Structure 1
Amino acid sequence: MPQLSDKGRLMPESPIRKLVPYAEVAKAKGRTVYHLNIGQPDIKTPEVAMEAIRNCQEKVIEYSHSAGNISYRKKLAKMYQNIGIDVNEEEMLITTGGSEAITFALMTCLNPGDEVIIPEPFYANYNGFAVAAGVNVVPVTSSIENDFALPAIEEFEKLIGPKTKAVVICNPNNPTGYLYSKEELNQLRELILKHDLFLFSDEVYREFCYGGEEHFSAMNLEGMDQHVIMMDSVSKRYSECGVRIGALITKNKEVIKTALKFAQARLCPPAFGQIAAEASLETPKEYFEEVYNEYIARRDFVVAALNEMDGVYCPTPKGAFYTVVKLPIDDADKFAQWILEDFEYNNQTVMVAPATGFYATKGLGKNEVRIAYVLKKEDLAKAMVALAEALKVYPGRTR
């Protein structure tokens, strides 16, 4: 048999999706599985988006411009301008989800063998994007002990070498829910300028900032126009994960010009996705207020419930709709499989994402899981009871 590629061999499994077969078996047994493992909100997609798809009058579903429909880009630019990010339609590419925006950024700015520094734990698919681009991820570790704040700049400095070309941040953070402050971002700014690096800023959870905290975009860092590349997506903002529409935004004209060549190679972003995304820009303010209040309630409930469990520590997320939780367990991967395979409480169980998959450093996250509080409160309540009962009887409990 012919040999497969090194990239195929190195491509990591999704820590979020690899347990799906165990969940399917549990469901086949008649058990209710509460999915706390994946950022798939149960919030309704805005009606304006659904209506735009239902009422589409196109006679032919044509290719769009490789950079995305100009009408969408103009409206999207206006949306950014309204929140203080000064960009125009020529300074963005519409992509097939935020995932493609990240991949395009890596392939545009880094050569195979170059290095990108990422605070860990980080969105697990960054590993896959890096493998696809032939780029090496160099982690700088944040800690649950200080709720996953940005690591000290001195720790970044220690990792910078001749192959270092970029730093990636996700703000608010997936998987931790941490929100980087303006002060932390300005510390990164000094580092980026000192070493002439790119800063990739994944800001798909911008709208989800809690407790009076405000989001500060890396696009607004002074003197960073040629260094910052922002990645965005409609997936979480409008609960439209399946339309697969994202964006790559930067003031750096050479980056846009070069990334467009990758965009041309894949022809265009999804047509119906762009129709839905453009219509979503007309979503009424009340929608966001309702969604925001719902997530605040879910966050507060889950954090309180987790911290009431013996031996559990859950930081209070400042943004997104995730939290990384420390559990009294020996091995998060074993626990996540066991709770699906061998455990049930009132014929119910939960699916969590082992945090090991969000770290690049081997051995980290073994007693941590990511929980996505994307279910309605009634389901979250049942899930928390099941999790608490599971921890009482798990054979690998550590205390």
Structure 2
Amino acid sequence: MRILAAMSGGVDSAVAAARAVEAGHEVVGVHLALSRAGGTLRTGSRGCCTIEDAMDARRAADRLGIPFYVWDFSERFRDDVIEDFVSEYRAGRTPNPCMRCNEKIKFAALLERALELGFDAVCTGHYATLVETPDGPELHRASDQAKDQSYVLGVLTAEQLAHTYFPLGSTPSKALVRAEAAERGLTVAQKPDSHDICFIPDGDTRGWLAERVGVAEGDIVDRSGSVVGQHEGAHGYTVGQRRGLSLGVPAPDGKPRFVLEVRPVSNTVVVGPREALATAEISGHRHSWAGRAPQESAFACDVQIRAHADPVPAWATWQDGALTVRPEVPFEGVAPGQTAVLYVGTRVLGQFTIDRTVSAVPV
């Protein structure tokens, strides 16, 4: 196959490209320039899109003896990921930019261009497994549960899965990937993993949002509507947050309070006891299936609401274009804007963006 290897400059994508070459594929490496923000051009940036990363990717490609290019996707990234991130926070939701990047950039814009240029598939260093079936490829968890990244790939469609290649999915541990990189002479063998949001290199999400959304003082209220504090911008809060609330009125029972809801229209933040974070139901209209859609309108599944959360057994219903999930044990701290990924065993069934939550604890 002709493989376009997306090379971030990290050890995972470098080893993935190496394995594609070793498997006999015709491989071309490409690094995506996703951001023109100044902070991403400095050594020490905390994301994955720096100039140094591009140089590391080029060195890895040279070591593997494959052609290498840098493609500027910064405008598409700005429109589809960064602006979406800002607009979601403006609306009082908590988005996952990595999901949007996989959905809109790595497996949409990049894959579209790859297919146009005659490539058969895009190769990445994600820890996930593809299983071929008579109904087409299925997306499954990686063998290393600690590194499994199937959650952030839950946005992929059947057509996209048919043109993807995940060489690391069956690797038992990240330590083995680093050891393999060292054996292959790749200089990124011990390079630290990227973390935080790549387009916020200093990690100050609240400050970054304040510059773009603006600062507007408002009330922090309890579940009865009584004012218990003030804030400088509702966008700086997310469901489940405990620290940084600076409440002027203590709870009657003296226990800590948590953010339960963000109301952007009234610029209000609602707080309450931890038990009020329990969520009995979630639903959303923006959904997709990672392969063949369920044959039934109601089915049992496991649901994961964060990248590193434990899956929860649940009952899902699919009706009038909306997915509704009721977990056997309530979720805790679910925010609109998050992504719920549905599994059946190790298989990723699909995903939806959470629009509505129902508390398990009545007011």
Between Structure 1 and Structure 2, the one with more strand by share is: 2
TM class by shorter-chain length? under 0.3
TM-score (norm 2): 0.26
Between Structure 1 and Structure 2, the one with more helix by share is: 1
TM-score (norm 1): 0.24
